[in-house]
Amino acid sequence: MTAALTIDGLNVRFRLRDATVHAVTDLSLTLHRGELLAVVGESGCGKSVLAHAVLDLLPANAATTGTVQFGAGSRPVRELRGRHIGLIPQSPATALTPVRTGRSLLAETLRVHGRATTDADTVAAEAGLDPADLDRYPFQLSGGMAQRLATALAIAPDPAVLLADEPTAGLDRPLVDHTLDLLRRRCAAGTAVMLITHDLTAAQRVADTVAVMYASRIVEHRPADEFFTAPHHPYAAALLDSLPDRAFQPIPGHPPMLTDLPAGCAFAPRCPHASPDCAAQPAISDGAACHHPLSVVGAP
């Protein structure tokens, strides 16, 4: 498998006046051509910051260490953004230019990337947007329409890596399915897709691999079929158990503040299996960062 995106030892810290937010910690992963990786985890765990760090789009108060590499090359990300790496941003309505119609934005994107501006209707339809809606201004778009326009803008250059941050938010079921099918088709054509989502059912439908984030770290990263049948990390298991079509059990307690993370496993205070070992940060082994992984021989 060919690596399309390699992240090694990524850390992102935001400096606030009197605190530091640990938004992404010691994160390494490889995304391959034709792979669909779902990144899941509770609100605020660092998923969007990860996407922005990959694209080098973090605000000025962010400090980043670690490396991000696309394919085999060493070109800086700013040269690759758009054509080689597309982003479907979370909450796209606020990211659209208010004074331009969808058609004008999409035609420009196509032109800049050497495609015929007449492809706009086809690309819009692929993203599930009625081509007639391209003639609307952003304020005339519903949240779902803006979402699909953002998808059209991201796929128009045919990027090798596509980061989709909650691309199905605000869409009803048929349009969710349309967007998931689109991502799958892109993968089949060789695109590497990182799908950031709250929707574990969607992840289960389309993902090849799943990465679970908790309090700024990846705590589990495994093939999707294995993950959904037998998660190893107690947090991942709890996340799956919270699904309505599973145990429908909420996870007790709250995630820790990212300004005040414990030294060891950040899930330990909520974990039914926590032991004194958890005071030390566990290394990732067999795809999970846990001192007492589930579904592994000898584990509780």
Ligand X SMILES: Nc1ncnc2c1ncn2[C@@H]1O[C@H](COP(=O)(O)OP(=O)(O)OP(=O)(O)O)[C@@H](O)[C@H]1O
What residues make contact with Ni ion under the rule CB under 5 A? Answer: 47-48, 90
By a kind-dependent CB cut-off of 5 to 8 A, residue 137 interacts, out of ligand X, Ni ion, none, with none
- What is the closest distance, in whole angstroms, from the C-beta atom of residue 90 to Ni ion in the complex? 5
- What is the closest distance, in whole angstroms, from the C-beta atom of residue 86 to ligand X in the complex? 18
- What is the closest distance, in whole angstroms, from the C-beta atom of residue 193 to Ni ion in the complex? 16
- Residue 158, burial from CB neighbour count under 10 angstroms (0-12, 13-18, 19+): middle
Nearer to ligand X, 44 or 71 (CB): 44
Tokens representing 68 are 């991000």
On whether the CB atoms of residues 179 and 196 are closer than 8 A, the answer is: no
Nearer to ligand X, 2 or 61 (CB): 61
By a kind-dependent CB cut-off of 5 to 8 A, residue 61 interacts, out of ligand X, Ni ion, none, with ligand X
Nearer to Ni ion, 45 or 192 (CB): 45
Q: Which residues fall within 8 angstroms of residue 226, CB to CB, at 6 or more apart?
A: none
* Chain contacts with ligand X (rule: CB under 6 A): 14, 21, 23, 43-49, 59, 61, 90, 258
Nearer to Ni ion, 103 or 217 (CB): 217
Nearer to ligand X, 157 or 256 (CB): 256
- What is the closest distance, in whole angstroms, from the C-beta atom of residue 49 to Ni ion in the complex? 8
- What is the closest distance, in whole angstroms, from the C-beta atom of residue 228 to ligand X in the complex? 20
| Nearest-angstrom CA–CA distance, 283 and 124 | 44
- What is the closest distance, in whole angstroms, from the C-beta atom of residue 228 to Ni ion in the complex? 22
Nearer to ligand X, 45 or 93 (CB): 45
Q: Which amino acid is at 285?
A: S
Nearer to ligand X, 77 or 274 (CB): 77
- What is the closest distance, in whole angstroms, from the C-beta atom of residue 124 to Ni ion in the complex? 25
Pairing mode, strands 3-15 and 62-70? antiparallel
